[in-house]
Amino acid sequence: MATQATDLGDVVITTLAELGENKFTDLMSDYQNTVALKRLIKKSKMNFQAGDELQFNLITDHNNSARFVGLGETDIVDISNVMATGKIPWRHITWNWAMERRLVAMNRSPRKIVDLVKTQRIAAMGSAIIKFESSFWKVPAADDNISPYGVPYHIVKSNSEGFNGTVPSGYTTVSNLSPTTYARWRNWTAQYAAVTKDDLIRKWRKAAHYTDFMPLVDDIPQYNTGDDYGFYTNYAVLGTMEEILESQNENLGTDVASMDGKVVFRRTPAMAVKELDLDTTNPIYGINWGEFKTAGLTGEWMKETVTDPVAGQHTMMATFTDCTFNFYCRNRRRMFVLATNTGLPG
């Protein structure tokens, strides 16, 4: 005896389930959110350059000519070398999707519940977004000439407090510039031991203060697109802060508060990043998005190539998408990282 409608063969054969036309649930990723996509991987937020590598200019010092003088003082005139050029190699990414001609025919209305072509395109784009996000929070090995330069390449940890973020392990420069030669080409760092007002929060507050630079000369032509700060950590740190604020057993100070259940630092929500859950040093990265960007090679961003038919498969077509790009930071001293140690995920 049948107990459910699905036990009756005729019902199964004659009834089409209500699936919600052209709708489906997204289970493509383990990420709750993707920072790289929202902040950087959008054409409107990027800049595009030509050439065999990504470049930007820095003025590294003033010319030291200012002095107090007496009457009739002899002039001292010189031309100083004050400019440097940051350089980052391009990196390339590709993704693709394919379709069989007869599957498209089978998927036509009125039998079509979802667009089969659209699902394949979305799945391919999802793969690219995950690849972007994963690489964004990693530093490639010094001999890796394929992977892009993520956050830990530009914002380097140190157990000493101050502008001590120099170069990642294995490197001698960042963006082809030596922090030894150019001492201001460093990010702020500090080591903390506990998520408390007297430890982490005090160092966080100090880091935010010392990385808040104003242009020395008014109307200086600069790259900054407007100060837009973001604070990124893992759930271990963010969850602890949420519990402290919820219990109110410890005052974290006026800079840290709870807003709609979220931890905010100076009115900016702190975000837990899944990739940083792998980092046992429990870092907090302070990023100024006015200075941290993605650049793309002109004419080579989201470039689609359609192969129809695919060689050797005359009923198949394939679409390939290619991007030439890299992540880069044009002002490291406006960034910071706080962590319990200097290690990175393996």
Query: Which CATH number is associated with domain 30-57+82-174+193-218+226-339?
Result: 3.90.1690
pLDDT exceeds 60 at position 6: no
In the prediction, which pLDDT does 117 show? 78
In the chain, % of residues over pLDDT 90:
55
Residue 10 is predicted with a pLDDT of 41
Identity of the residue numbered 174: V
The more confidently predicted of residues 16 and 221 is 221
Give per-residue pLDDT as tens, 283-335. 999 999 999 999 999 999 999 999 888 898 898 889 999 999 999 999 999 99
What is the distance between the alpha carbons of residues 278 and 281, in angstroms, rounded to a whole number?
A: 9
> Mind listing the pLDDT tens digit for each residue in 142-156?
999 999 999 999 999
Kindly indicate the confidence band of residue 248, based on its pLDDT and cuts at 50, 70 and 90.
low
The residues, any chain, with a CB within 8 Å of residue 65's CB and separated by 6 or more, are 76, 77, 78, 80
With 0.85 as the threshold, say if the pTM is over it. yes
Q: Where are the domains of the chain?
A: 30-57+82-174+193-218+226-339
Residue 54 and residue 90 in contact, taking contact as beta carbons nearer than 8 Å:
yes
Residue 203 and residue 161 in contact, taking contact as beta carbons nearer than 8 Å: yes
Average pLDDT of the residues in 202-207: 96
Strand-pair partners of 305:
320
